[in-house]
């Protein structure tokens, strides 16, 4: 699979395919046609065939896709066929919410430490994950594998912590702070800007209201 070149647009759709395939797999479904998948996912069957044909030979005319095979191949492409070590920066509500997403564990995502600067939180546990002193961040990273650091602290501190993470060698940041982080090219960043998502919903709501008035 290493040689496959897939467009960004297709890649961005893979996690959603994976989610549906996982559900089918859990429900014991062995194969599915692009037409059935199309109805479930509200995507055209031709879009599905175009997207999934990148991975060659899974869809067979009159037979459909083998669910487990496709699920596993997409999992490999997404890098979730292995253990990914996560740390969380910030033991606030959002950090705690993320720590509690146990379903990530079955995809190999393991949150192994949470860092905070609040003395009242340091030394406690959040869903059995120890909360450590943010001052120990560099020492921890030097001694433990850390694939992804999740940032859930206010933006001013987030920028400083991101710099520390990069210097300590972390190569992927899942950023929930309301800011865009400036990191070197070889560091992957995925932003979850909740306020932007809410503004986008606000726009859709308003657009529908105006549509109605006409």
**Spatial contact of 165 and 188, defined as CB atoms under 8 Å apart:** no
What the block records as the tokens of 87 is 């740390």
What the block records as the tokens of 48 is 């599905």
Residue-by-residue DSSP string for 80-124: -SS-EEEEEE--SHHHHHHHT-GGGGGGTEEEEEEEES-TTTTT-
| Cα separation, 75 vs 80, whole angstroms | 5
Which residue lies nearer to a second copy by CB, 143 or 185? 185
- Strands 84-89 and 65-66, sheet pairing: unpaired
Please count the residues of the chain.
214
Residue 193 interacting with a second copy (CB under 8 A): yes
Task: Point out which residues pair with 190 in neighbouring strands.
Answer: 174
Site for a second copy in 88-147 (CB under 8 A): 92-94, 96-101, 103-104, 107, 109, 147
Residue 66 DSSP one-character state: E
Which residue lies nearer to a second copy by CB, 79 or 135? 79
Which residue lies nearer to a second copy by CB, 137 or 149? 149
Closest separation in Å from C-beta 17 to a second copy: 10
Contact pick of 45, 110, 168, 192 for a second copy (by CB under 8 A): 192
Closest separation in Å from C-beta 63 to a second copy: 26
Residue 153 DSSP one-character state: S
Residue 125 DSSP one-character state: E
Site for a second copy in 29-58 (CB under 8 A): 41-42
Closest separation in Å from C-beta 154 to a second copy: 10
Window contacting a second copy (CB under 8 A); options: 11-19, 31-39, 64-72, 138-146: 11-19
Residue 203 interacting with a second copy (CB under 8 A): yes
Residue 206 interacting with a second copy (CB under 8 A): yes
Residue 80 interacting with a second copy (CB under 8 A): yes
| Cα separation, 24 vs 77, whole angstroms | 19
Binding residues for a second copy (CB under 8 A): 2, 11-12, 14-16, 18-19, 41-42, 77-80, 84, 92-94, 96-101, 103-104, 107, 109, 147-148, 171-172, 174, 178, 180, 186, 188-190, 192-210, 212
């Amino acid at each position: 699979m290493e040689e496959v070149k897939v467009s960004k647009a297709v890649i961005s759709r893979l996690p959603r395919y994976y989610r549906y395939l996982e559900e089918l797999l859990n429900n014991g479904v062995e194969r599915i046609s692009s037409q059935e998948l199309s109805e479930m996912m509200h995507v055209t069957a031709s879009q599905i065939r175009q997207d999934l044909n990148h991975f060659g030979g899974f869809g067979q005319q009159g037979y459909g896709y083998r669910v487990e095979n496709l699920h596993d191949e997409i999992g490999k492409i997404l890098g979730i066929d292995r253990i990914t070590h996560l740390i969380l920066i910030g033991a606030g509500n959002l950090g705690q919410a993320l720590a509690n997403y146990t379903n990530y564990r079955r995809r190999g995502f393991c949150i192994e430490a949470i860092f905070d600067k609040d003395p009242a939180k340091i030394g406690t546990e959040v869903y059995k994950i120890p909360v450590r002193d943010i001052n120990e961040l560099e020492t921890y990273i030097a001694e433990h594998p850390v694939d992804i650091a999740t940032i859930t602290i206010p933006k001013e501190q987030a920028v400083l912590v991101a710099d520390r993470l990069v210097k300590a060698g972390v190569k992927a940041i899942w950023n929930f702070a309301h800011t865009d982080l400036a990191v070197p090219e070889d560091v992957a960043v995925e932003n979850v800007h909740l306020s932007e998502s809410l503004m986008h919903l606000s726009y859709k709501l308003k657009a529908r209201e105006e549509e109605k008035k006409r």
